[in-house]
Structure 1
Amino acid sequence: MDRRSFIRKGALGGAAAAATSIAAPAIAQDAPTVTWRLTSSFPKSLDTIYGAAETMARYVKEMTGGKFTIQVFAGGEIVPGLQAMDAVSNGTVEACHTASYYYWGKDPTFAFGTAVPFGLNMRMQNAWFYYGGGNDLLNEFYGTHNIVAYPCGNTGAQMGGWFRKEINTVADLSGLKMRIGGFGGAVLSKVGGVPQQIAGGDIYPALEKGTIDATEWVGPYDDEKLGFYKVAPYYYYPGWWEGGACLHTMFNKAAYDALPAEYQTVLEAACQAANSDMMAAYDYKNPQALKSLLANGAQLRPFSPEILQACFNAANEVYAEINASNEWFKKVYDSQMAFRKDAYGWWQLSEFNFDYFMMSQQANGNL
């Protein structure tokens, strides 16, 4: 059964049967008709990431009886993908769906909206966003850019990327040209790597020609479409710079503040629903995509403990440097990292031990 049909019929059916003559909700009768435009940072070909904005818009339309509609445009149709937030900030469009860390160059604080090296996993992020004050803190910061934002999708822990040769020691990172940006790129530089900013459509030919030695992207489902395994067969894990990459829907603050309170609540609820939906989609799609990649020659490799420790230490150096000069960054950092310490203690006790046992059963052929 279609889940939205179930929700409408199951949750509302009893009440409707008992009171068929009751008038429609006030939101369907008295609320204004509103049409917004949303520009995505993503192409339609990345159907799961791009699709989160469509999911959110569909919920908004259905929850308002068609009174509030949001038209979703792919990256490049209105503005280039990496200018999506700017278009919202200056009022060109009312909304965008993007990764906050794309705007790292404007202020490193933007990184906390998506993911920071050795930060939180997806569930920890949600805990911090919704219960640890993360949403409120970030919206204080986003407000300085005329924006209100809510989490709207997550990829989960990403892979460490595709490499043309094996990387076994920290020394192997020296001079390595890798397509990686933002915070992850800053950390890679500390351990000798050379980060490269390359648009998605240019990555494959750059790998094929040897212009770059490696690239990070997302995970098996999205990576398979781009064919990186054909020219860079070593598939490393984990993506230590993205333990749970969160996407946001950002709204022009003036446009958001002008909405009825009911519509603001609908937006928040729709974003939260899409946030959960996108993670479920990736959790379902990635296992089969990984099998397919391995069948086609991809070779899985873990980053060595030596490499992970060196990158962890380098990340802490970058954190300290930015904290010393950026008050907003330090304010958000202090909040998220205080939660991180307690969260991983609990995770080790509960989730990790259960997951580890079940993974051992899978490895032994018992599942």
Structure 2
Amino acid sequence: MTMSKRRAFLRLGAAALAAPALLTAGRARAADGTKWRMQALWGGGTTPMIYEEAFCARVAELTNGSLEITPFAGGQIVPSAQAFDAVRGGAFEMMKTFDGYTAGKIPAHGFSSTVPFGFPDPDQYEAWFYERGGLELARESYAPAGLTYIAPTVYGQEPMHSTVPIRTIADLNGLKGRFVGLAAAVMGDFGVAVSPLPTSEVYSALDKGLIEVADRGDIKANYEEGLQEVAKYLILPGIHQPTTATSYVANTRAYDALDDQQKAALAVAAREISGSLRQNIIVSDGEYLKKYQDAGVEIIDLDPVDIAEARNQAVESWKKAATDNLSTRMMESQVALMQELRLL
């Protein structure tokens, strides 16, 4: 992020939090303020959905009620796969999405959602968004569709679950696995026969032996789904998805109609929720790893040296996946930061 852009972001944040004139304007509009609907990725009552509800409440608080967002669980307004087109068409104003779902059509989205073997720490990935121009690149990826990328929610790894022990990266070679997005391409380059199964089919595919290793969701969510019953090995870190970014995305026409305070409130609330959810997941992971062990699951920690060597190999996979100018610029900026951080 350039110095001028950083100053602009800080001005917006300060306006949302402190400027009396803007807050007065918000009070004047509160009675007949702007009302949005947002469809999230998650099911009702789940931990991530609770945080989406907190995001909406925080936006209302920061704008003194001038912008009210009603959150809906995944699939409540339209099927999740149709949310992109629905928001673009104005059926509702905002979605919480995972860019990896649209990486097939927009190659850059493979890099704004997760980078297999990439940033091992979510703070590093979030720093790329806010300090190395990732936010602007993500916005560029959505603009042609009439959509505005607001901000990411960045959190940590999603583990691999396996019916066979995987103690080295080389052990992946020849296995049948479920991965999606950029991870499908990268894991394929490491010898996995990839099937991009829907999330809902992961349990049964492991149970029936159709696959031997799988990505699904975070540690807690996978336990609640019962994967400890069908996969007796949990592999850490989740090299296919070491850090994760989901995205707040709005219809551009609706977003442009907001005032500066409302736009700033969206940015500030999103940044706050990103940190809060990440901290919740850190604590939750420790609690649920113990539950996996109690259920007879062996937790395997991969060798950091093995992962570092594989990361250098994965760069070639990233380059192959960057098939247009924007995805190439996004990938190269991430590689540059990883080199500065001595990850490559």
C-alpha distance in 2 between matches for 1:311 and 1:106 = 27
Q: Indicate the larger mover: 55-64 or 314-323.
A: 314-323
**What is the 5 A alignment of 1:93-108?**
93-108=92-107
What secondary structure sits across from 1:69 in the alignment?
A: strand
Whole-angstrom CA distance in 1 between matches of 2:22 and 2:339: 51
Q: Give the stretch that moved more between structures: 334-343 or 93-102.
A: 334-343
Q: Percent identity?
A: 27
The match for 2:12 is none
CA deviation map 1:35-87 (0-9, x unaligned)? 11111122225x22223321211111122222311111111112222332232
Amino acid at match of 2:156: G
Distance 2:155 2:81 in 1: 18
Give the corresponding residue for 2:340.
342
Alignment of 1:182-201 (within 5 A): 182-201=181-200
Residue 328 of structure 1 corresponds to which residue in structure 2?
326
What is the CA–CA distance in structure 2 between the aligned matches of 1:113 and 1:52, rounded to whole Å?
A: 21
Question: What SS is found at the alignment partner of 2:280?
Answer: helix
1:322-366 Cα distance to aligned partner (Å, 9 max, x none) = 44x411111111222211211247xx9xxxxxxxxxxxxxxxxxx
CA contact (8 A) 1:178 1:214 kept: yes
Segment drifting more, 130-139 vs 170-179: 170-179
- For these two proteins, the number of residue pairs brought into alignment is 325
Is 1:152–1:274's contact at 8 Å kept on the other side of the alignment?
no
Q: Equivalent residue for 1:300?
A: 299
Q: Match for 1:280: what amino acid?
A: Q
Report if the CA contact (8 A) 1:39-1:73 is conserved. yes
Closer, same or farther: CA 318–326 of 1 in aligned 2, 3 Å: same
Aligned to 2:145, the other structure's residue is in SS state coil
**Distance in 1 between residues matched to 2:216 and 2:257, nearest whole Å:** 37
User: How far apart, in 2, do the equivalents of 1:93 and 1:119 lie?
Assistant: 34
Equivalent residue for 2:84?
85
Residues 141-163 of structure 1, C-alpha deviation per residue, up to 9 Å, x if partnerless?
A: 2212222123342331332x111
Amino acid at match of 1:227: G
Which residue of 2 is the match for residue 290 of structure 1? 289
- Partners of 1:342 and 1:169 in 2: CA distance: 27
- Aligned partner of 1:243 in structure 2 is 242
Q: Deviations over 1:150-200 (max 9, x none)?
A: 3342331332x1111113456643442212111111011112212222222
Note the 1:219-238 alignment, pairs <5 A.
219-238=218-237
- Aligned residue type for 2:224: K
* Amino acid across the alignment from 1:283: I
Tell me how far 1:305 sits from its aligned partner: 6.6
Corresponding residue number in structure 1 for 2:10: none
C-alpha distance in 2 between matches for 1:280 and 1:170? 28
Specify the SS of the correspondent of 1:85.
Answer: helix
Tell me what 1:141 maps to.
141
- Unpaired runs of at least 5, structure 2: 1-16
Structure of greater Rg? 1
* Structure 1 residue 262 corresponds to structure 2 residue 261: yes
Question: Is the CA contact (8 Å cut-off) linking 2:118 and 2:311 kept in structure 1?
Answer: no
2-structure distance, mates of 1:152, 1:240: 20
Q: Give TM-score, length-normalised by structure 1.
A: 0.81
Q: How far apart are the structure 2 equivalents of 1:80 and 1:33? A: 28
Per-residue Cα deviation, 1:257-281 (whole angstroms, up to 9, x for no partner): 1111211111111111111111011
- Is the 1:40–1:98 Cα contact (8 Å) retained in structure 2? yes
Residues 88-124 of structure 1: CA deviation (Å, up to 9, x unaligned): 2232221001111121111220122221122222111
Structure 1 residues 76, 151: closer, same or farther in 2, change over 3 A?
A: same
Check conservation: 2:157, 2:237, Cα contact below 8 A.
Answer: yes
1:151–1:249: 8 Å Cα contact kept in structure 2?
yes
| TM norm structure 2 | 0.86
The residue type equivalent to 2:220 in the other structure is Y
- Which SS does the other structure have where 2:161 is aligned? strand
For 1:131, give the aligned amino acid. E
Cα pair 2:90 2:251 within 8 Å, conserved = yes
Is this contact kept in 1: 2:23–2:63, CA < 8 A? no
Shift, 1:314, TM fit:
4.7
Q: Determine if contact 2:167/2:301 at 8 Å carries over to the other structure.
A: no
Worse-superposed segment, 182-191 or 210-219:
210-219
CA distance change for structure 1 residues 117 and 198 in 2, over 3 Å: closer, same or farther?
same
Residues 132-141 or 309-318, more deviating? 309-318
Does structure 2 conserve the Cα–Cα contact (< 8 Å) formed by 1:256 and 1:264? yes
Do structure 1's residue 114 and structure 2's residue 116 form an aligned pair?
no
**Distance in 1 between residues matched to 2:83 and 2:335, nearest whole Å:** 28
Q: CA RMSD in A?
A: 2.6
Q: Distance in 1 between matches of 2:33 and 2:262?
A: 11
Equivalent-residue separation in structure 2 for 1:23 and 1:171 (angstroms): 57
Q: Deviations over 1:186-217 (max 9, x none)?
A: 01111221222222222212211112222112
CA distance in 2, matches of 1:171, 1:283: 28
